[in-house]
Amino acid sequence: MQIPTKYNPKETENKWYQYWMEHGFFKSVPDGREPYTIVIPPPNVTGVLHMGHMLNNTIQDVLIRRARMQGKNACWVPGTDHASIATEAKVVAMLKERGIAKKDLTRAEFLDYAWEWKEKYGGIILEQLKKLGASCDWDRTRFTMDPEMSEGVIDTFIHLYKKGWIYRGVRMVNWDPQGKTAVSDEEVIRKEVNQKLYYISYEVVESESQKDGKTESQKDAATESELSDFRTSQLPDFLTVATTRPETIMADAAICINPNDERYASFIGKKVVIPLINREIPIITDEYVEMEFGTGCLKVTPAHDLNDYNLGLKHHLPVIDILNDDGTLNEKAEILVGKDRFTARKEIAKVLEEAGALEKVEEYKSQIGFSERTDAVIEPKLSMQWFCKMEEMAGPALDCVLNGEVKLIPDKFINTYKYWMENVKDWCISRQLWWGQQIPAWYLPNGQFVVAKTREEALEEVRKLGSREDRKTERPEGWKADSPLSDFPTFGLSDLTQDEDVVDTWFSSWLWPISVFDSQFFSGKNSMGNADLQYYYPTNDLVTAPEILFFWVARMIMAGYEFKHEAPFKNVYLTGIVRDKLGRKMSKSLGNSPDPLDLIEKYGADGVRVGMLFSSPAGNDLMFDESHCEQGRNFANKIWNAFRLVKGWEVDAQLSNPNQTAIAWFQSRFNQALTEIDENFKQYRLSEALITTYKLVWDDFCAWYLEMVKPVYQQPIDASTYKATVGFFENILKIVHPFMPFLTEELWHDELFGERAELDCCIVAQQPKIGEINLKLLNEISTIKEVVSEIRNTRNVKQISPKEALPLAIKSNFEIYYPTYVPILSKLGNLSEVTFIQDKLAGAANFIAGTDEFFIELSNQIDAAAERERIQKELAYLQGFLKSVTSKLSNERFVQNAKAEIVANEQQKKADAEAKIKMLEEGLAGLV
């Protein structure tokens, strides 16, 4: 036989992928069919494929392929995300390597480099997806920074600004000193880290008002020695605070104690001196301070801690910001200026110790925020940013999930979703970056601003501003009341300065399900949207990781309602996180993630897809194990070899069909499995669907059906069986295709399945319809399988070669009409003859299956002792079983309360057990 014994994915994958592409099988245009749409969660444009993508996109491809095979107009829209922080960081790093500093470049120059980088590396990940077999409509590939996509982002910004939902203000934000930008709350990842808790002593001094009547000027006039005398005469007191951030003491604005804390009651109203810099700060009281924590004294540093900031607002404390944007100390720190915050921390500890102000240092564990994109430690920072109000948009977005319009799969995420939506905070949308959509705010020389799409339109806005009666804000400098802009010939386009910031990446991705179809939609010119949007929106399923449920999913739903008045999708399938065997999240930095392309190389795309899906129920993390891919590869090989078998058959038209029973059985079994698979898909149990398919193919089709019908070596097969088998095979290819597209397409085109019309491809074959299920036949065959297993087992135990044909005698009550199954039994059990008997066959190996007894006469003597032991063991089990059934049945409450069929069942079990016990006892008596 020329066909190799092993399936070689390398020979088929590229071939068929290209074929599908060339013939436009992935393409979708609106037509009369029902649409089935998925938009890809756009990966980072400069990213590379990781295991999470593999899982994610395998699931999407399975869903989209299945929909396509159900006659729907399947459309999977691919694309990439510009990922502003991550990409900008990469570009900056690249420039640095080339000896170019970002600060030496203009914005335009930098963007040129960035685009160059994007052109070079952008889309690698999409090419990788093709290797996986992703059947995306590549003609629809979008990038979140495509000019028209960006335009949509700007349109929505203006829309929300006009609505009053976007505003600008000074707030405490999460500052990423590495990316030198603000990030949103959701982009801060908290991790527990080992830190040190530094106990620092602050000397207490009398506040001015308490200093024995001396006024401020008197104090100034006092000599250093006088002051010194004063202090020593009072015996210095110290307040000790516990802090994890000693480098920020220079920014301290107060020391705070709990008003109920008796230990410190006498200090209230006094002041302390910050060590090293000797600045005096007040001692204030606030119930916010936990008396139990640390020393019960809190240093208040409004510029560098959110709580302290709030405390500062409450107590009117000054904000002293001692950090630069890059996390180094500035001149306000007075000491350690220019040092990085972490270097400063170490150094100041030393200096404090030398100065005797460091009481002790304790090991301490606490949660610290890290930037999701750069992994830098987040610095709370007070700065002017743009925010988007969330409260109004959160309403409908929450409702649709609660009322089931949008389903979360699994639904355990509803609770977290609800909590988040009910506690949503305004979204910081500005980023101090260049890579992204620049905020369409235009500043006048006096700092006032207008929001408009272009500089020209901005000027128009300014004009309105100048002439509007009901203006609330001040006009540009030099503006005369109510005078039109034309009165100021010198004020022109060039006097407007656009905001330097860009919007958060998610401010573009939240529009994704709309903008991929109609990016012009947000201009408001066509409220219905274009034909694509009308046809494809809302999409069907969104497949993504739970990590970005709030980042992205929630916001897409908000945007869907805000702009399109309808949720963007019906189902959200939340995948698990791919972890390694040790349960660690797979990540590049840990180096514990296999390269997906290597896996594909090793096991074939089909094998890897199956491997990913094998144990990944929605919402459960997946402990990735390469052995699953191996299993997937083996499955491909199994199908391949089943194909080789059938392919090798020669048909003899003269032969009659001896396999009607087997054919009818598999037909039923197939329909039964199909029902289960359908049900599994309906519930998004993809691994279950796969496992059902796997067992159907491997066990039922290969191990049983093919073994039942396959002719003796080099003998021909009858036409009817052949036809049925090829038909089954074709149906199997169909149901396997969504999981293993390449192998199935390859086999689909073999001449075994006859002439294929042009473009008759597995990828667009229609899924088989569910037919009748003959339950009686299924049950009987399952008993027949049991008999076959017993025969094989007997061989195993008695060390008889499978080649040696054995005689089987059946003592049956004919609840099952065995003669029908004699051909199957003979073939699978390798029987020399089958006889029906009335009496037990003494001295023969025997077993019970169903309610019948079976005897195999063996040439060698059976071991009576061993046989007795075996029977006694089985008897003991059955008697125990009978006892429990009997006691159940004699329990009146059971008989009264249980459903009739359950009771009947128990009675059947009892009868069967009794019959079996009788047989065994007779058998035991027969042993000499």
Partner RNA sequence: GGGAGAUUAGCUCAGCUGGUUCAGAGCAUCUGCCUUACAAGCAGAGGGUCACUGGUUCGAACCCAGUAUCUCCCACCA
Footprint of RNA on 272-311 (CB under 7 A): 288-294, 296, 298-299, 305-307
> What residues numbered 137-196 form the site for RNA, per CB under 7 A?
185-186, 190
Size of the site for RNA (CB under 7 A): 91
Q: Name the one range near RNA by CB under 7 A: 20-28, 79-87, 698-706, 770-778.
A: 698-706
Question: Which residues partner with 284 through β-bridges?
Answer: 256
Cα angle 721, 725, 728 (rounded to 5 degrees) comes to 145
Does 609 interact with RNA (rule: CB under 7 A)?
no
Does 315 interact with RNA (rule: CB under 7 A)?
no
Which among 532, 514, 513 is positioned nearest to 523, based on CA atoms? 514
Which among 195, 169, 311 is positioned nearest to 253, based on CA atoms? 311
Does 678 interact with RNA (rule: CB under 7 A)?
no
Q: How far is CA 630 from CA 133, 603, 635, in A?
A: 18, 6, 9
User: Between residues 523 and 615, which has the closer beta carbon with respect to RNA?
Assistant: 615
Out of 58, 181, 243, 693, point to the residue binding RNA (CB under 7 A): 243
Out of 90, 118, 130, 710, point to the residue binding RNA (CB under 7 A): 710
Q: How far is CA 51 from CA 39, 196, 313, 578, 710, in A?
A: 19, 36, 47, 7, 41
Q: Name the one range near RNA by CB under 7 A: 331-339, 452-460, 814-822, 890-898.
A: 890-898
The span from the CA of 10 to the CA of 24, in Å, is: 22
Contact 417, 549 (CB under 8 A): yes
CB of 408 to RNA, least distance (A): 11
Contact 511, 10 (CB under 8 A): no
Contact 117, 94 (CB under 8 A): yes
User: Between residues 482 and 804, which has the closer beta carbon with respect to RNA?
Assistant: 804
b/e burial code for range 471-487 (CB count within 10 A of at least 16 → b): eeeebbeebeeeeebee
CB of 157 to RNA, least distance (A): 25
Cα angle 52, 56, 60 (rounded to 5 degrees) comes to 165
Contact 896, 877 (CB under 8 A): no
Place of tokens 């459903």: 899
Does 68 interact with RNA (rule: CB under 7 A)?
no
User: Between residues 153 and 311, which has the closer beta carbon with respect to RNA?
Assistant: 311
| 334 dihedral zone (left: phi>0; alpha: psi -120 to 50; beta) | left
Out of 211, 888, 910, 914, point to the residue binding RNA (CB under 7 A): 888
Out of 485, 503, 613, 706, point to the residue binding RNA (CB under 7 A): 706
> What residues numbered 323-382 form the site for RNA, per CB under 7 A?
366-367
Out of 131, 315, 570, 644, point to the residue binding RNA (CB under 7 A): 644
CB of 170 to RNA, least distance (A): 18
> What residues numbered 99-138 form the site for RNA, per CB under 7 A?
none
Does 776 interact with RNA (rule: CB under 7 A)?
no
CB of 797 to RNA, least distance (A): 7
Task: Return the SS3 of 692.
Answer: helix
User: Between residues 234 and 627, which has the closer beta carbon with respect to RNA?
Assistant: 627
The half-sphere exposure of 40 on its side-chain side, counting CA atoms within 13 A, is 31
> What residues numbered 891-920 form the site for RNA, per CB under 7 A?
891, 893-894, 897-899, 902, 905, 908-909
Does 778 interact with RNA (rule: CB under 7 A)?
no
> What residues numbered 424-483 form the site for RNA, per CB under 7 A?
none
Contact 772, 756 (CB under 8 A): no
Q: Name the one range near RNA by CB under 7 A: 313-321, 398-406, 694-702, 752-760.
A: 694-702
Give the chain's radius of gyration (CA, Å): 39
CB of 644 to RNA, least distance (A): 4
User: Between residues 795 and 827, which has the closer beta carbon with respect to RNA?
Assistant: 795
DSSP 8-state class, residue 542 = E
> What residues numbered 539-578 form the site for RNA, per CB under 7 A?
546-547, 550
CB of 645 to RNA, least distance (A): 3
Task: Return the SS3 of 837.
Answer: coil
Does 675 interact with RNA (rule: CB under 7 A)?
no
Out of 498, 520, 530, 615, point to the residue binding RNA (CB under 7 A): 615
Q: Name the one range near RNA by CB under 7 A: 5-13, 41-49, 160-168, 567-575.
A: 5-13
The span from the CA of 331 to the CA of 223, in Å, is: 28
The span from the CA of 718 to the CA of 348, in Å, is: 91
For 643, the token pair is 């194909």
CB of 757 to RNA, least distance (A): 28
The span from the CA of 877 to the CA of 871, in Å, is: 10
User: Between residues 536 and 603, which has the closer beta carbon with respect to RNA?
Assistant: 603
The span from the CA of 149 to the CA of 787, in Å, is: 66
CB of 638 to RNA, least distance (A): 5
Does 665 interact with RNA (rule: CB under 7 A)?
no
Does 688 interact with RNA (rule: CB under 7 A)?
yes
CB of 122 to RNA, least distance (A): 28
Q: Name the one range near RNA by CB under 7 A: 31-39, 318-326, 426-434, 580-588.
A: 580-588
Task: Return the SS3 of 544.
Answer: strand
Out of 171, 211, 453, 638, point to the residue binding RNA (CB under 7 A): 638
CB of 831 to RNA, least distance (A): 14
CB of 299 to RNA, least distance (A): 6
DSSP result, 292-353: SSTTSEEEE-GGG-HHHHHHHHHHTPPP---B-TTSBB-GGG-SSTT-BHHHHHHHHHHHHH
User: Between residues 105 and 752, which has the closer beta carbon with respect to RNA?
Assistant: 752
Distance, C-alpha 593 to centroid of its chain: 16
User: Between residues 124 and 778, which has the closer beta carbon with respect to RNA?
Assistant: 778
Q: Name the one range near RNA by CB under 7 A: 67-75, 210-218, 392-400, 709-717.
A: 709-717
Q: Name the one range near RNA by CB under 7 A: 34-42, 229-237, 353-361, 790-798.
A: 790-798
CB of 737 to RNA, least distance (A): 19
Does 581 interact with RNA (rule: CB under 7 A)?
yes
User: Between residues 416 and 454, which has the closer beta carbon with respect to RNA?
Assistant: 416
CB of 914 to RNA, least distance (A): 15
CB of 61 to RNA, least distance (A): 21
The three state secondary structure string of 873-927 is: HHHHHHHHHHHHHHHHHHCHHHHHHCCHHHHHHHHHHHHHHHHHHHHHHHHHHHC
Contact 706, 98 (CB under 8 A): no
